[in-house]
Structure 1
Amino acid sequence: MQNIKSMTGFASVRVNVSSGSLAMDLRSVNSRYLEATFKLPDNFKYLDTQLREILKSTVQRGKFEMSFAFIPAASENLHLNQALVQKLCNSLKEIKAHFPEGSADLTQVLLYPGVIAENNEQSREELSAEIVANFRELLKALIANREREGARLASVISEKIDALEKCLEPVKDQLDTLVAQERAKLQARLKVLKADVDENRLEQEVALLAQKADIAEEYDRLCSHISEVRRILKEGGSCGKRLDFMMQEFNREANTMASKASNLALTKIAVELKVLIEQMREQVQNIE
């Protein structure tokens, strides 16, 4: 049995690594598919593909967004990209020529990405490995968060299934008396009209009315769907789409039962069923 996961979750990591301090936040919300947005600074965008592959191999559905911040520690291995500085300074001169009142200066040039970089390939590889390792831990924490929420959702759905089953109990009691009810109603109408009807014709009309009002098939299918949802919840895993399909099946049978309802009691039961089904469907939308 695998744990049921919610598609909603959040996790964060704040850690000191070999060359600075790292902060990552990862959040997920509902989505029919797997979507991911990694807000990486330009000098870390080379990690985007690798992080996406790790995510894809771990989760099935959801919309994920990661924010990322890295503050480098002081280093003696700094390199000034003179070619880039020259280009930026030339651009700065052109800007000042057109906008002399502007306040741009060399300080802003030094802050431009790539102007000052750590001239150490080994340090970059080490930092990349640390980022990936911490992303795995971040993802693990997010999944744990999603599993806790998933357990809560499964519990709510299970309670609603029990309530739905209890709601159906009076229906079972009416199935055997449906023909008698239709006969009594028809005889009452005929009595009001003071009409004499052949007994065989009366039975034919009763049978026809009972057939139109027969909800035995709907009742049986609803009971079958209840068993199937319980099985899916017990099996666990990424079951959101299967549960969503079952909610559609529940709704179809409840609608048919409502249209066939031959008395007020059955109509009320059908309405209550639809309310419970909608409450379950709202929870199912959050399950991976």
Structure 2
Amino acid sequence: MPVYSMTGYASGQLSVPQAAPGQDARPSSPGRIGLEIRSVNSRFLDLSFRLSEELRQHEPALREMVQARLRRGKVEIRAGLESGPSDAVREPHARLLQRLSAVQDTVRGWLPDARPLSVADILRLGAAEEAPTADFAEPLQALAKQALDELVASREREGARLAQMLLGHLKQLRALAEQARPLVPQLVEQQRTRFLERWKEAMGLAEGTASPEAAQDRALTEATAFAIRIDVAEELTRLAAHLDEIERLVKKGGEAGKRLDFLIQELHREANTLGSKSAALELTKISVDMKVLIEQMREQVQNIE
């Protein structure tokens, strides 16, 4: 199953015939339904609709279609109706002009100061009077299905790109962990040697007040305590387990975004602990490099459905 991103965009248009508005009207030319869908990342599925007045009644059907195809993301759906080119300015029919004239006479009879209707007023009122009454449910759903197919395909392509980037970062993190693993025994041995040298110097200054055996035991005890403080074997083991689980989820695909986000937090925790236990510049650098990669992975994972 592929990995899906939550980022995508799709749009489409579909020509539809408009119903004749009345017995005095000429046949109207086809109009167009335009629809676009945008989606970005979100913790849940968050839908918002921007539909024109003619299409607003179809929002429940569109919502159901989107919920059947998407699981997460902030999704915005816009749809509107555009008249055909020949209907850009529709000439009002005689019956409408008669009715507007009668209404205007009545209004000015009561309100003599009311201004007369302008051409723009008449055209606007005529457009409202002759609003299309066709049923757009079927073409709108067909257009929505087409746009959703395109959106899901774009989210799949983006998801495949994110999956490849994540797998590449996993490989780099494993390489850094392998660099860190042999550093701890080396540091412990260096510290043990350093303790022994210091105790030998202290013995010389104390003119034999401490036996060589006691000095060596004390140095070994200090070295052991130091080894316990800087031991990162457990952190490296947990980090490797998290990397394996992330790789498994990415290759499995599906709705893995929330679980991946949790695992990224665990990776960051282990890298922080690795840095806090660092007793050498090399280990500190490895910890910083890990946290940079993990932060990049966090940004990518937040876009996965």
TM-score w.r.t. structure 2 length? Answer: 0.79
* Residues 186/100 of structure 1: CA separation in 2 closer, same or farther (3 Å cut): farther
* Residues 131/212 of structure 1: CA separation in 2 closer, same or farther (3 Å cut): same
Three-state SS of the structure 1 residue aligned to 2:254 is coil
1:102 Cα offset (Å): 9.8
Distance 1:198 1:99 in 2: 110
User: Any conservation in 1 of the 2:199–2:219 contact (CA below 8 Å)?
Assistant: no
1:129 Cα offset (Å): 1.2
Distance 2:55 2:154 in 1: 27
User: Any conservation in 2 of the 1:5–1:150 contact (CA below 8 Å)?
Assistant: yes
User: Any conservation in 2 of the 1:31–1:61 contact (CA below 8 Å)?
Assistant: yes
1:82-93 equivalences in 2 (<5 Å): none
* Residues 13/159 of structure 1: CA separation in 2 closer, same or farther (3 Å cut): same
Structure 2 counterpart of 1:153, from 162, 166, 170: 162
User: Any conservation in 2 of the 1:229–1:246 contact (CA below 8 Å)?
Assistant: yes
User: Which shows bigger deviation, 196-205 or 163-172?
Assistant: 196-205
Match of 1:11 in 2: 10
Distance 1:35 1:98 in 2: 51
Match of 2:125 in 1: 109
Match of 1:49 in 2: 60
Matched, 1:62 2:73: yes
Structure 1 counterpart of 2:295, from 272, 275, 278: 278
Structure 2 counterpart of 1:37, from 31, 48, 60: 48
Distance 1:55 1:106 in 2: 40
Structure 1 counterpart of 2:149, from 116, 133, 140: 140
Q: Which residue identity does 1:131 align to in structure 2?
A: L
User: Any conservation in 1 of the 2:10–2:147 contact (CA below 8 Å)?
Assistant: yes
Count residues in correspondence.
Answer: 274
Q: Which residue identity does 2:160 align to in structure 1?
A: A
1:255 Cα offset (Å): 0.3
User: Any conservation in 1 of the 2:14–2:139 contact (CA below 8 Å)?
Assistant: no
Match of 2:28 in 1: none
1:168-179 equivalences in 2 (<5 Å): 168-179=177-188
Percent of paired sites with the same residue:
38
Ranges in structure 2 where 5+ consecutive residues have no aligned partner: 19-30, 88-92
User: Any conservation in 2 of the 1:21–1:71 contact (CA below 8 Å)?
Assistant: yes
* Residues 14/206 of structure 1: CA separation in 2 closer, same or farther (3 Å cut): same
Three-state SS of the structure 1 residue aligned to 2:160 is helix
1:110 Cα offset (Å): 2.6
Match of 1:181 in 2: 190
Match of 1:246 in 2: 263
Match of 1:287 in 2: 304
Three-state SS of the structure 2 residue aligned to 1:37 is strand
Distance 1:231 1:216 in 2: 23
* Residues 218/70 of structure 1: CA separation in 2 closer, same or farther (3 Å cut): same
Cα shift readout 1:221-246 (whole Å, capped 9, x = no counterpart): 11111111110111101211111111
Q: Which residue identity does 1:15 align to in structure 2?
A: L
1:210 Cα offset (Å): 0.9
Match of 1:209 in 2: 226
1:190 Cα offset (Å): 4.1
TM-score w.r.t. structure 1 length? Answer: 0.83
Distance 1:50 1:89 in 2: 41
Three-state SS of the structure 2 residue aligned to 1:57 is helix
Distance 1:97 1:164 in 2: 83
User: Any conservation in 2 of the 1:178–1:214 contact (CA below 8 Å)?
Assistant: no
1:99 Cα offset (Å): 7.9
Structure 1 counterpart of 2:241, from 224, 228, 231: 224
Distance 1:198 1:97 in 2: 115
Distance 1:99 1:168 in 2: 83
1:23 Cα offset (Å): 1.6
Structure 1 counterpart of 2:273, from 222, 241, 256: 256
1:248 Cα offset (Å): 0.3
* Residues 42/209 of structure 1: CA separation in 2 closer, same or farther (3 Å cut): same
RMSD, matched Cα: 3.3
